[in-house]
Structure 1
Amino acid sequence: MKTRNWMSILWPAFLLASAAELLVFALVDPGDLHWRGEAVGLSRQAVYAAGFFAFWLLAIGSSALTLLLTRPASEINNPED
């Protein structure tokens, strides 16, 4: 994949993950998170980091799908060009 395509995927995904991180953790305290009835055994920073990377991966998938769906048919049918 071209560098431009990667940046078209990663940069908007990064911005969306940053905004989602701000929004979610403005409303949710990582210290109060529970999983299956037990407290999550991670530090606040670890929860922030895991949340950011989870949001980033979801946004990367969305951006990649958008880029794939906007490709012209000629580019899809003739990938060697």
Structure 2
Amino acid sequence: MTTVNIFEAKSSLSRLVAAVETGREAEIVIARNGRPVARLVPIAPAPDAAKRLGLLAGRYPSMTLEEFDADNERIAALFEGEPE
């Protein structure tokens, strides 16, 4: 963890941001009169949506489309308020 004073941070902000962005520094603390007042840290990358696909693979039994759709009429009747 690097600590820089606020004057240095103002005059070399691009260099400090690049250091955090590239991972050379995990965080940079900015201090005023020797007291820490702010932290410069990288923003966590957004989770890759493509990695979520198949998250539950193998947890449920496989079924055919006909088996999956077998209860459609019964479910529709329940939504329409008809007794089972």
Provide the TM-score with structure 1 as the length reference: 0.24
Larger Rg: 2
Query: If each structure's strand is expressed as a fraction of its own residues, which one has the higher value?
Result: 2
